[in-house]
Every structure is written in C-alpha cells, then in structure tokens.
Amino acid sequence: MTDTDVPVTTKADWSSDQEVRWCPGCGDYTILASVQTFLAEAGLDPEKVVFVSGIGCSSRFPYYVSTYGFHGIHGRAPAVATGIALANPGLSVWVVTGDGDALSIGGNHIIHAMRRNVNIKVLLFNNQIYGLTKGQFSPTSEYGKRTKSSPAGALGRPFNPVSLALGAEATFVARTIDMDRPLTVEVLRRAHQHRGAAFIEIYQNCNVFNDKAFAELTGKDERLANRIVLQHGKPVVFGADGAKGVVLRGGSARIVDVAEVGLDALHVHDEHFPDPGPAFALSRLSHGPHGPTPVGVFRDVPSPTYEDDLQRQISDAQSQRGPADLAELIRQTGAWKVE
C-alpha cells in the first residue's frame, strides 16, 4: 500500500478491543471519542499514528485507540515521543499526558520538546488534581485547595499550562474543554496540520476528586459569560451579544465593555503573529478556569522543526566528509591530563 492509498476509516476503526476503564462520568471518555472522531475525519492511516503516554488516568489512552502505542514511565512521554519522531519522521506522533505527569516530574521534558519544535502533538488533560493516585493536589491545583495531601490548603501558585507553553515558544498552542467536542475536534485538526510542536490543554472534569472544577466554562448559565472563543482575524469579544471585549495595553490584556470603548479599540486576534507576547497576554486573563477564560487557538506560527535541522546537519556532514567511518571515530585521539 502506498502513501496515497490511505483506507477510509470510521470512529469504530480507531477503537481498540480493550475495555475502556475510567470512572463512570469521567471527562476522558469524551476526549477519547473526540480524538477517534478526528482521526477518522482526517483520513489518517492507523499504521502511521503513534500515541505515547506517561503515568496517570489519561495515560491509559494508548490502550484504547487502534494505533501503535507506548505506555511509558512518569513524565517521560515527550522524551519517548521525540525519539520516535526523529527515528521515523513519517509517523504522526501524539503525546497524551496529565497535569501531574507533564508539569511535575515531566516539566523539563515538556518545555524542551516545545522549545526544540519537535514535530509531536501534546494533549495535556488538565483536571487540576492527581486522579490515579486518589486526589492529591497537582501543579495546576488552585492555591489553598484542600486535598488529601494538603489538608490545610495547597501552597504555591499553580501553573498556567498555556502560558508555560507560550513561554517555551511552542509554535502551536491551544486550549479546549472536554465537553466541547466540536471545538476539540477542530483544535485537533489544526494541530495535526501544523508542522512542529503542538500543545493542547484540555480542561477535563474529574467527577470523583475534583468535580465541577470547570463549571464556570461548562455550566449552562455560566459559560456564555465566561467562555472567550478566540477567532483568528476577529476582535476578541464574548458574553451576551458580544457586550464584553478584550483590549491589550502595555503588554497586558484586560476586559472592557464594548459599548464604552468601541469595537475598533478591541484586540484583533492574530494566531500567526511571530512574537508570542500578545498570545501570552491573552493566556493571563485567567489563571485557571475561573471568570472569563480564552479557549481555541492562541498561536500557530511556522518555524523549522528539530527534525528538519537535524537532517540538514547530517546532510551537511556527509557532503563535507563523506560517509561516516565508525572505526575512525573510535580511534580518535582525545586525551586530557588531570593533575
């Protein structure tokens, strides 16, 4: 079968024969369905897709999709995925991780995969809690949160995953919500089309240990007032009849009444702006899913990938020195005198 002979698939074709085992009502079920829907609609070949995970509830994901998969150790999924992407650039490589797995022990791996612009797609399921180990506070838990590991309240300010990815200069950054399947599928499609590192934060409800953490963005009455859907090339407005808007001044974003400042004063969202500064300012409007919170694509800019630069180095070395000689490399004299 050639690259052009991709079989037509359905969502069912991307479902493995393994029983899906998450808690009833977990947001992971909805995310899994969205991913499987996207994979079928994108016309991908299951034999050219790889899902890599670390440790946590989200990291069971590779078992449930009918693709190649690798269940790694805690926090190391980006490192494994980097190796896969470099070894076989023809694969579509996806990382599934959680807020604890990615931002605690895996913090270094995630930021370096982003800054290097490795061609991998990271799905960070953020439920603001450790679910698999039964309810300890995580790096995204809000300050003062009482959990089994913080009975007097969690100390330390939480990470804002989108801000972190933008600070690492990831070339594609987005945020979506488990219950919003159309937005999730669209963001997945955009990430797949992007060549380079893509980072998607997915607000995911843990109905056992942190239920309704995202109610302000998902509740029937609350979501209209709090969900800011970013659209490229359009003024950033939200709320009933677009009555609220966002302006950028002095590098900071703030919320205004459109009637007071006028539509022309509002920030026009530009996903492709080279400097991540405006996108970063938008990400700081909220430090969690509370109050007006942006969702959608924050940044999508072209940039050489790590794989491209590596292949260029190899090609240059071969053209200058010819084929590599392992024996010559081993016989090289490099000596240091220690006194």
> What are the structural domains, with CATH classification, of the chain?
11-213+304-309 (3.40.50.970)
Chain-centroid distance, C-alpha 119: 13
Distance between CA atoms of residues 254 and 244, nearest Å: 10
Q: Is the pLDDT of residue 264 over 90?
A: yes
Q: What percent of the chain has pLDDT over 70?
A: 98
CA distances from 238 to 124, 174, 246, 249, 334 (A): 25, 18, 9, 19, 64
The alpha helices in 88-180, defined as continuous H runs, are 99-100, 107-116, 161-167
Residue 272 has pLDDT above 60, yes or no: yes
pLDDT digits (tens, 9 = 90+) for 281-293: 999 999 889 999 9
Q: Partners of 173 in the beta sheet?
A: 199, 299
Strands 172-177 and 121-126: unpaired
For the chain, the straight-line distance linking the first and the last C-alpha, in angstroms and rounded, comes to 62
Question: At residue 127, does pLDDT exceed 60?
Answer: yes
Closest CA relative to residue 82, chosen from 46, 52, 126: 52
pLDDT tens, position by position, 141-191:
888 889 889 999 889 899 999 999 999 999 999 999 999 999 999 999 999
Mean pLDDT of 323-337: 76
Q: Percent of the chain beyond pLDDT 90?
A: 81
- pLDDT of 240 > 70? The answer is yes
The verdict on pTM exceeding 0.85 is: yes
- Residue 278 pLDDT greater than 90, yes or no: yes
State the pairing for strand pair 244-249/252-257: antiparallel
- What is the Cβ-side half-sphere exposure of residue 140, based on CA atoms within 13 angstroms? 32
Cα dist. 146→19, 66, 209 in Å?
A: 33, 39, 11
What pLDDT, on a 0 to 100 scale, did the predictor assign at position 4?
57
Q: For residues 127 and 334, which has the higher predicted lDDT (pLDDT)?
A: 127
Tens of pLDDT, residue by residue over 15-32, are 999 999 999 999 999 999
Strand partners, 51: 69, 94
Across the strands, what pairs with 122? 95, 199
pLDDT band at 98; cut points 50, 70, 90: very high
- Contact status, residue 122 vs residue 198, Cβ threshold 8 Å: yes
Whether residue 320 is predicted with pLDDT greater than 50 in this model: the reply is: yes
